[in-house]
Structure 1
Amino acid sequence: MTPKRLFLIVLVLAALWSGYWLAGAQGAKVAIGRLQENMQASGWEAEWSDVALRGFPNRFDVTLDEPALAPPGGDWRWTAPFFQVLSLSYKPHHLIAVWPNLQTIELGGESAQVRSDRMRASVVFVPGLALELDHAALVIESPRLQGDTASARARELRLAIRPTPGRENARDIGITALEPRITTYPGAPDVAARNVRADLAVTLDGPLDRSALSRAPRVERVEIRSATVELGQSRLRVTGDLAAGRGAYAEGDLRLVVENWRAMLDAAVASGLVPQRMAEQIRGAMGLLSSGEDVDLTLNFADGQTRLGPVSLGPAPRLGSGD
């Protein structure tokens, strides 16, 4: 093959690849515009000041400047200086999401700043137009949350999600917080845990795809395979299986095993998480239920109520919004 012919072949291939990238870039911009329109039509606030697309020739790197996002009803609102979605041009169904080091969340009339050293997620969709989520993983290094009064931080926060084998519309969710610390008000001692881990299986009423933005999927079942909080010399372990009943109130049982419960309660009172007057009631009840420093009890949720044996403890939690 002559050098001239080889040059022509390379030139043609480069032209074809450039055309593919330009077509993909244009398609990405159209998709972003349609996503924004669909979200706004469904009642979401979805705004940004500009959209930039870079990465030629091997990447599609999308940057949204000054994004603002809030669900229908405005229960919360998120804003940031920018948000990025990165992907390889030959693997568009695998995305890398990048958040800035500073973000703002408004919740319940209060505003909180979220800071981190690094926050990224790997998101993989099932190939196709439905954009159904296959699996994802989020890692936040040194997250710090500062509200008007309370604050929280951790060494690292991880979240992973994947399909639950053999169960339709269900996802396995793993959550790990390394060395989390919570301050309930200025001057209060921190609630410092060694680790917090949770292994869950959550079943929704439909697929987790692009349609979820408009139909707001509901939680039908939460299986807590294991949830553990290690606080000083104390440990709380939770297992259970809850389903959404009438009004989305939880129905089912939760088993709670607390090791060295007195030390855990003392730490919660000192930090302000549990009021002193409530602590005395808890001490009395736990003293009857425990045989020492450990306690093993089961909470039952039924008919919209939470019960410990025959004693009603108040309304049951909701797994979602009720009708």
Structure 2
Amino acid sequence: MRFLLAAIVVAALGWFGYWFIGQHSLQTAFSSWLDARRIEGWVAETSDLRIQGFPNRFDIGFSDLMLADPETGLAWQAPFFQILMLSYRPNHAIAVWPEEQLIATPVEKYRVQSNDMRASLVIAPDTRLAPERGTLTAEFLRITPAGRPDDTTALSALTLAAERQEGTRYRLGLSAEGLTLSPQWRARLDPQDRLPGQISGLHADLDVTFDKPWDRTAIEQSRPQPTAIRLSLADAKWGQLHLQAAGAVTVTDEGFPEGEITLKARNWRDMLELATASGALPQSLAQTLESGLSLIAQMNGNPQTLDVPLTFRNGRTLLGPIPLGPAPVLRLR
């Protein structure tokens, strides 16, 4: 009996010591990380860094957190941010965002609001902190440019998922429901107000290979850059418009895609008309494009559905045989 009691006491003291050593290590690690960013010229401030949760959790809480990278012009500000971990499984973290936060880019500042934004993240158990898999979810997400409170873009639900496959290849998934465009974007994309108020669904499944793994250096040094993209399926529905895409491209050192994405567009003439009315497609090119695509659609047997390759080659973009202009640059800031 005395031996059992002694064993329990020793185990309790051992766990007590483990938790406080872990708490001190985490406190030191996060404080040192913020100090290192400030030395590099960042703004990296928090009014309080507190770790609680004894005995089975490490609940890390930041108050009045602000991070700003002068090289990219990106900044993030939040009244609080939490990282929650089980003390016996510290490589699995739950991140919790506040209902309102501020994100600044070199172009504009945005207020981001959500009812429940959180992420589950499993990290490799080493000092590089490379994510192995993660899922971010948000409900009733609203994004508003600073100074324009009536120009909000909203989502009913958002899910982003990522899983490391092998080497530097990652599988990514996106699901967005109930996308309501801001009045500015709505007027630009649908000036005649012919489509429903919401884009009912947007889904994507793809694999992306980067030039280096995503780990702590992605924040501290430079972002990994894509070298190859395989799109299994992207699917978007907006009223009677339905667009699907699949294919694969490689990415050059300059960031230009090289390869082919097959597009399947239902009611494609309406899409073309919207692109022309919004100014995204020059009127001078619209007639040529419609004539060429009409021939392709008729050859496929259904004039209302277009099945055509979107080709990226030598820094240019072609839709079927028709040149559209320069290819996009796929570089992460």
> One fold, TM greater than 0.5?
yes
Deviation at 1:41, TM superposition (A): 5.1
Kindly indicate whether residue 225 of structure 2 is the aligned counterpart of residue 218 of structure 1. Answer: yes
Distance of 1:217 and 1:43 partners within structure 2: 21
**Which letter does structure 1 place at the counterpart of 2:279?**
P
Deviation at 1:308, TM superposition (A): 3.1
Residue matched to 1:193 = 199
Contact 1:197 1:229 (8 Å CA) reproduced: yes
**Which letter does structure 1 place at the counterpart of 2:214?**
L
Kindly indicate whether residue 182 of structure 2 is the aligned counterpart of residue 178 of structure 1. Answer: no
Kindly indicate whether residue 318 of structure 2 is the aligned counterpart of residue 319 of structure 1. Answer: no
Of 282, 285, 292 in structure 2, the residue corresponding to residue 288 of structure 1 is 292
Residue segments in structure 1 that go unaligned for 5+ positions in a row: none
Residue matched to 1:308 = 319
TM-score normalised to structure 2 length: 0.85
**Which letter does structure 2 place at the counterpart of 1:47?**
E
Residue matched to 1:240 = 247
Contact 1:55 1:61 (8 Å CA) reproduced: yes
Contact 1:244 1:251 (8 Å CA) reproduced: yes
**Which letter does structure 1 place at the counterpart of 2:170?**
R
Of 283, 297, 300 in structure 1, the residue corresponding to residue 308 of structure 2 is 297
Distance of 2:185 and 2:265 partners within structure 1: 28
* Number of residue equivalences: 315
Deviation at 1:283, TM superposition (A): 5.8
Structure 2 matches for 1:259-298, cutoff 5 A? 259-265=266-272, 274-275=278-279, 278=282, 281-282=285-286, 285-290=289-294, 291=298, 292-298=303-309
Deviation at 1:229, TM superposition (A): 0.4
SS at the partner of 1:22? helix
Deviation at 1:312, TM superposition (A): 3.0
SS at the partner of 1:208? coil
Deviation at 1:71, TM superposition (A): 3.5
Kindly indicate whether residue 255 of structure 2 is the aligned counterpart of residue 254 of structure 1. Answer: no
RMSD: 2.6
Deviation at 1:168, TM superposition (A): 1.9
Kindly indicate whether residue 149 of structure 2 is the aligned counterpart of residue 142 of structure 1. Answer: no
Percent sequence identity over aligned pairs: 34
SS at the partner of 2:317? strand
Contact 2:52 2:60 (8 Å CA) reproduced: yes
Structure 2 matches for 1:1-323, cutoff 5 A? 1-2=1-2, 6-40=4-38, 44-147=42-145, 148=148, 150-164=151-165, 167-185=166-184, 188=187, 192-213=198-219, 214-265=221-272, 274-275=278-279, 278=282, 281-282=285-286, 285-290=289-294, 291=298, 292-320=303-331
What are the superposed Cα offsets for residues 47-82 of structure 1, whole Å, 9 maximum, x if unpaired? 322211111111001111111223352332211111
Contact 1:244 1:318 (8 Å CA) reproduced: no
